[in-house]
Amino acid sequence: MCGIVTAIARRNIVPVLLEGLRKLEYRGYDSAGLAVLKTEGTPQLQRLRAVGRVAELAAQADATGLSAEIGIAHTRWATHGVPSERNAHPHISAGLAVVHNGIIENFEELRSGLQAKGYKFTSETDTEAIAHLLHDKLKSIPDLFDAVRATLAELVGAYAIGVLSETDPNRAIVARKGSPLLLGIGEDGYYAASDTAALLQVTRKVVYLEDGDVAELRLDGYRVTLQDGTPVERAVNISSLSADAVELGKYRHYMQKEIFEQPQALGNTLEMIAGGGGISPQLFGADAVGIFGATRRVLILACGTSYHAGLVARYWIESVAKISCTVEIASEYRYRDSVPDPETLVVVISQSGETADTLAALKFAKSLGMNKTLAICNVPESAIVRETALRFVTRAGPEIGVASTKAFTTQLAALALLTLALAKVNGRLSDEDEAMHLAHLRHLPVAVAKVLELEPEIEGWAQRFASKHHALFLGRGMHYPIALEGALKLKEISYIHAEAYPAGELKHGPLALVDKEMPVIAVAPADSLLEKLKSNLQEVKARGGELYVFADAGSEIPQSEGVHILHMPEHYGLLSPILHVVSLQLLSYHAALVKGTDVDKPRNLAKSVTVE
């Protein structure tokens, strides 16, 4: 979603703002803009805005020879109003410029009040209301920092903002509530951005702002207060994120890089079990033994790909730990009446840790008295991680491609560990089974690397069906969520309409869609459901459907006219979904390449979905 960069430094900060925006491109956006203050003579705001890519904004900056020591910049993902230059940030109110990430829920009310006072709106955005409200506040509260705090007090919703003012040209003000924002302490100045990747170009020293924080950045320092003005200290961290981790290197796309990073990402995530010992519940936090021991049920809340990880985990938790488990889409759970149960372990899964619906669902569960909470997340300092009693941080490294790949497989690895920890604490894991499961987990990076070697064959398949308009994915048991994930990957990056079904459901409706124009992709591991699945595949074949079957080493499925079979290197038991999904990621990636879509930044989508 939207991204923010702010800078005040003893240098021309325009290239820093632009490079910061480039690093935030992965979050998803449709327009970009920046405002700087020219401080020689009478301070004056200069604003540039462009629909489309940051490169367009950079071209404008070049053409105008823009240079300044203080500025704010923004990538916008449209919520209120179409993507257009008029709606792009920064928004200006007579000498004040504001950039904003998030949604102001009471903006219509604010807008009417401000219009009644004579303010003219030139955009359809909620952000413009912040700029005019701040301008109005400054009439009675002359200090910019205090006026920003008074403005924030009237906002309902989520925000991260950056503010510049012609009347106060020596500082930039930033604030956050519900949307991410961190400060950067550089050698030559101070910075702020929506994530660390944007600031690595100037510093590794970062300060994570907390919800409700307001900060002032000056050339000679910074300060942070709560929204009521109480000064607060926030720790300075040295980011361990390497600049290489957010560079493409030898790869064509981030998605390709991230697919191929999976053996490493899994190895890093599973590092704690690499030694010979058993599973330690404390991997999830100091209180894990107590909480897991008192867990009678598990409720998993997540969105998108993370929800699919939860669906796989349900099979594991119920079959290995013998604990009842439900999985719910966060945006649904948060708005329905449910029966709260304090003996339930609430597990939230999120790559970004900022997904608004998942965060709200977690807070909702807590408000119902369900305080046994666990976050499985890839971003240690994220909002979701800060809200839970227990946490497991996956070590996938930054995921830049909008399509989640290595985040998903590392989430599954974390959920496999959770299953074992729950089983162990509740006396449902024999020493023998524990050793067997751990040995499988330790071997996982090697097993995934072997799946990646299938890329040439999968590429061939992708060439065949990239011209199709629809595709059907089938799976059974714990591979049904993998079929769901395969369909989601295909539609989000290649725009081919894809649906997934548990194969047994085929004849209850979707079989009507099957003809030679409908490729059917089947996930067919050599498990106890294979024979059932084979019958389902016959139903497709008999209707002239073209089948692409991902089978296991031991699955006897004969190749024939219209039935293409690819054998996975090995059958992987309970962890088999982790191997099978990798082949489906490759399939989508290559289908998107054939179609020529924007693989890393698919249309209309954002990486961090920080709005509802």
What is the contact surface with ligand M6R in residues (CB under 6 A)? 303-306, 350-352, 355, 358, 402-404, 488, 492, 609
Shortest distance (Å) from residue 39 CB to ligand M6R:
39
Shortest distance (Å) from residue 126 CB to ligand M6R:
22
DSSP state of 88: S
Question: How many whole angstroms separate alpha carbon 133 and alpha carbon 127?
Answer: 10
With respect to ligand M6R, which residue has the nearer C-beta, 306 or 410? Answer: 306
DSSP state of 558: -
Shortest distance (Å) from residue 412 CB to ligand M6R:
13
Shortest distance (Å) from residue 344 CB to ligand M6R:
20
Shortest distance (Å) from residue 493 CB to ligand M6R:
8
What is the set of active-site residues?
Answer: 2, 607
Question: How many whole angstroms separate alpha carbon 575 and alpha carbon 443?
Answer: 11
| CA dihedral sign of residues 250, 252, 255, 260 | negative
- Crossing angle, helix 576-595 and helix 480-494, to 10 degrees? 20
Amino acid in position 126: D
Peptide bond into 83 cis (omega under 30): no
DSSP state of 30: S
With respect to ligand M6R, which residue has the nearer C-beta, 216 or 357? Answer: 357
Question: How many whole angstroms separate alpha carbon 474 and alpha carbon 486?
Answer: 9
Give the CB-nearest residue to ligand M6R: 304
Shortest distance (Å) from residue 303 CB to ligand M6R:
4
Shortest distance (Å) from residue 540 CB to ligand M6R:
26
With respect to ligand M6R, which residue has the nearer C-beta, 203 or 608? Answer: 608
With respect to ligand M6R, which residue has the nearer C-beta, 490 or 529? Answer: 490
User: Mind giving me the DSSP string for 173-196?
Assistant: EEEEEBS--EEEE-SSEEEEESSG
Shortest distance (Å) from residue 304 CB to ligand M6R:
2
With respect to ligand M6R, which residue has the nearer C-beta, 87 or 179? Answer: 179
DSSP state of 320: I
CB atoms within 10 A of CB 231: 8
Shortest distance (Å) from residue 458 CB to ligand M6R:
18
| CA dihedral sign of residues 347, 606, 91, 180 | positive
Question: How many whole angstroms separate alpha carbon 459 and alpha carbon 436?
Answer: 34
| CA dihedral sign of residues 536, 538, 540, 546 | positive
Question: How many whole angstroms separate alpha carbon 478 and alpha carbon 469?
Answer: 27
With respect to ligand M6R, which residue has the nearer C-beta, 496 or 524? Answer: 496
With respect to ligand M6R, which residue has the nearer C-beta, 96 or 609? Answer: 609
User: Cβ(373)–Cβ(349) under 8 Å?
Assistant: no
Q: Are strands 189-193 and 221-226 parallel, antiparallel or unpaired?
A: unpaired
As given in the structure block, the two tokens for residue 389 are: 């009693």
Question: How many whole angstroms separate alpha carbon 57 and alpha carbon 55?
Answer: 5
With respect to ligand M6R, which residue has the nearer C-beta, 203 or 352? Answer: 352
Question: How many whole angstroms separate alpha carbon 574 and alpha carbon 440?
Answer: 9
25-55 per-residue burial string, b: 16 or more CB within 10 A, e: under 16: bbbbbbbbbbbbbbeeeebebbbbbbbebbe
Instruction: Using alpha carbons, select from 335, 334, 337 the residue that is nearest to residue 301.
Output: 334
Give strand pairing partners of 244.
none
DSSP state of 209: P
With respect to ligand M6R, which residue has the nearer C-beta, 185 or 356? Answer: 356
Question: How many whole angstroms separate alpha carbon 168 and alpha carbon 218?
Answer: 11
